[in-house]
Chain A
Amino acid sequence: MICSRGCWMSTVLFGGLLALMPPVLLAQTQDVNDLPDAILLRKFRPPMVDRMRFEPLPPEQRMLNEPKVKLLVRKDGYEFCSRITGVPISPTSRPMACAYWNVKRKECTVITPEVTGYNYVGHEVRHCFEGAFHD
């Protein structure tokens, strides 16, 4: 359920400690599962590669050992990832997150849509260390 302004007000009036919280924190009580991106997220199951255990590469074999990682959350997350990877957006599949890196500067940027999952962020962080580890 998306909390309307009326709902937010009643939380403030009757929520005890919640009433003392700043509005920014209260806004986070909104259920992300009700946001439009979450509908897409629920539609797609994490692929097999994200449901398996793995052994991280030893430091000397990593592409970047101590990368500076930036997480960018974008409204157009799917479209951006599709544009830089060439993976098309279709009703049945799409890039759920992506990353790009600069080996010389030891920097890596992870991009996700506004709502994402632990597996997608984790998957991209692994790329930041190990580079290409699948297909």
Chain B
Amino acid sequence: MIDSCSPQMSQRTVNLRREWLKKSLLLACSGMLLNAPAQDKPRMRVGFISRYQPYSFLQTDGSLTGFDVEVVRSLLGALGLAMVPVTDTLTNLRKKLQNGEIDFIGNQLLVTPENRRHFDFVKSYATIQLVSVLHENDERDLMSLDDFLGKKLGVLANTGIAAQARGALGNSVQTFERIEDAFRALVDRKLDAVLEENLIAEYHIEKGDLPLKVGVPFAEPLRVGMAVTKGNKGLEQRLSLGVQTLVNDKSFKAISMRWFGYDVSRPRVSHASSQ
């Protein structure tokens, strides 16, 4: 009896075991999704410029760091994604994005008409603006390029700012290959001011504990954003929504404080409108 029943029972047992195993596997898988370690999360290949302080740069030990790197890691983490950083020059990153070798560029690029032809842009998470940098004790109101006539102004070489300043002020504009050297000359009072982006200036002032201050804005805030492939509206909107949530989160403020000493997502200029 037992023997005669045995094959039948065995088949039932196998079926039950299969069912049990299937359920167990499903449960295990759902548990894995909820508590998935970083290596099991869906991955995003994110391009970063390899030498772009303070936004993204390689440290002496070869590891990648920077404000943009930390922000994007935090952003993707909140979206349940893992970041796979890819470092290169901006020119190569553009090519890699167009070839599909990366999913987006994690640095905030300028929203120029030329860039808009190739990319769509994610909502910005930092206010970036061209500003004057002065010695911390300098109380002069140097508000425009005209105010620098007869004074010494330092700028980064081979940039649009350098060309514009030279055009207005001639040879009293000194150009520097490294912005750190311009700040050093300003500390030594060999210059009256330096023109540079506010966040780059804030970073060097903070990092070097320099007796300098960010002064007057010289232009309107720059329109910038992370770049995704033209037409990839789904990713652009997903990242933009993520940025909108992230900038109100404590984790973003902590990153911002660590790199610049204040919350850089907020604007630093305002206006009263007419009606």
Q: Which residues of chain B (236-274) have a CB below 8 Å from chain A?
A: 261-263, 266-274
Q: A100-B269, A105-B213, A127-B270 are in contact. Are A86 and B143 (CB under 8 A)?
A: no
Are B272 and A124 in contact (CB-based, < 8 A)? yes
Report Cα–Cα, A95/B213, bound state, in Å.
26
Residues of A with C-beta under 8 A to B141: 72
Residue in A closest to B263 when the chains form the complex, CB atoms: A103
Q: Is the CB of A85 within 8 A of B273?
A: no
| Chain A proximity of B97: nearest CB distance (Å) | 28
Roughly how many angstroms separate A63 CA and B263 CA in the complex, as a whole number? 10
Say which size band chain A's interface belongs to: 35 or more
Chain B interface size range: 20 to 34
How near does chain A come to B195, taking the closest CB pair, in angstroms? 13
Q: How many A-B residue pairs have CB under 8 A?
A: 90
A49 nearest CB across to chain B (Å): 8
Assess the A44–B274 pair: CB atoms within 8 A: yes
The answer to whether A87 and B213 touch across the interface, beta carbons within 8 angstroms, is no
Q: Is A67 at the interface (CB under 8 A from chain B)? A: no
C-alpha spacing A47/B272, complex, angstroms: 8
> Using Cβ atoms and an 8 Å threshold, which residues of chain A touch B272?
47, 50, 95-98, 119-120, 123-124
B266 near A95 with CB under 8 A, answer: no
Which among B129, B143, B270 has the greatest number of chain A C-beta atoms within 10 A?
A: B270
A95 touches B271 (CB 8 A): yes
**CA distance in complex: A120, B275 (Å):** 12
Q: What residues of B have a CB within 8 angstroms of the CB of A124 in the complex?
A: 270, 272
CA distance A85 to B270 in the complex (A): 7
Chain A residues numbered 55-110 whose CB sits less than 8 Å from any CB in chain B: 63, 72, 74, 76, 80-81, 83-87, 93-105, 109
> Does B266 contact A131, Cβ atoms closer than 8 Å?
yes
Residues on A with C-beta less than 8 A from B275 are 44-48, 93
Q: How far, in whole Å, are A49 and B273 apart by their CA atoms in the complex?
A: 9
With a CB–CB cut-off of 8 A, which chain B residues contact A47? 272-275
CB-defined contacts of A85 to chain B, threshold 8 Å: 220, 269-271
Q: Which residue of B lies closest to A102 (CB)?
A: B214
- Asked if B219 and A98 sit within 8 Å, CB to CB, the answer is no
The smallest beta-carbon distance between A65 and chain B, in angstroms, is 14
Of all chain A residues, the one with the shortest Cβ separation from B214 is A102
Distance A103 CA – B272 CA, assembled complex (angstroms): 20
B220 CB contacts on chain A under 8 angstroms: 83-86
Closest to B221 in A: A86
**For the complex, what is the distance from the CA of A124 to the CA of B271, rounded to whole Å?**
7
Choose among A49, A81, A102 the residue that contacts B213 (Cβ–Cβ < 8 A).
A102
Distance in angstroms from B133 CB to nearest chain A CB is 11
- Answer whether residue A1 sits at the interface, using C-beta atoms and an 8 A cutoff: no
Min Cβ gap B252→A in Å is 15
* Cα A49 to Cα B129 with chains together (Å): 26
Q: A83-B219, A123-B272 are in contact. List 6 more A-B contacts (CB 8 A).
A: A47-B273, A72-B141, A83-B220, A84-B220, A127-B270, A131-B270
17 contacts between A and B (CB under 8 A): A45-B275, A80-B144, A83-B219, A84-B129, A93-B273, A93-B275, A94-B274, A96-B271, A96-B273, A98-B270, A98-B271, A98-B272, A99-B271, A103-B263, A104-B202, A120-B272, A127-B270
Residues of A within 8 A of B (CB): 44-50, 63, 72, 74, 76, 80-81, 83-87, 93-105, 109, 119-120, 123-124, 127, 131-132
Show the binding face of B for A, using Cβ within 8 Å.
129, 141, 143-144, 202, 213-214, 216-221, 261-263, 266-275
